[in-house]
Amino acid sequence: MEFANLDEACVFYEQYSRAKGFAMRQGKKMKNRKGEIVRYTYLCNREGFRHRKWLQMQDRKREHKVITRCGCQFEMRIKRKADSTSWYVCRFVDEHNHDLLPEKFVLYLPAYRKILDVDVAHIESLRQVGISIPKIYESIAVQARGGGGLT
């Protein structure tokens, strides 16, 4: 599989991961002597394990975050063609060691929960006139449902 540029590969991988039921994570990138990226790795968000030092901290100020990493092996590695701007997939491992989400729940993964710039501007303008944040979010939820208030 080939891509015209790195952005096209990223868009493809994000769409693929959404359709399959997992969240994407960017892995290592390799640069040449000129500082140009020549290899890029995309991973499953559950790849690897949490570093041991974070699990054994004694003077923790906050509670542990939920452990989500389970050593998943999924990987898509792309390389830039020599003397070209196009990219190709040089390694593709389609193996997960965890359950994948149904498509209707993928939008709840943190990687895909995004607030649009338009909504951010709307929230900021409502906040400036003194409307509380819970009321702002209630207003946005009502708009998303197509009207009708909360009872």
Beta strands, E only, 32-73:
37-44
**At 101, which amino acid appears?**
L
Query: Which residue positions in the chain have pLDDT lower than 50?
Result: 150-151
The predicted pLDDT at position 101 comes to 82
Which pLDDT score, from 0 to 100, does residue 139 have? 85
Residue 3 CA to residue 86 CA, distance in Å, equals 6
Distance, in Å, from the CA atom of 107 to the CA atom of 110, rounded to the nearest integer, reads 8
pLDDT at residue 115 in the model: 80
| Tens of pLDDT, residues 47-84 | 877 766 666 667 767 676 666 777 788 889 999 988 78
pLDDT at 151: 45
Residues 84, 41 share a domain:
yes
Q: Is residue 108 part of a domain?
A: no
Q: Is 121 found in the same domain as 95?
A: no
Q: Looking at the structure, do residues 90 and 130 belong to the same domain, yes or no?
A: no
Q: Are residues 94 and 129 in the same domain?
A: no
> Which residues span the domain enclosing 94?
2-101
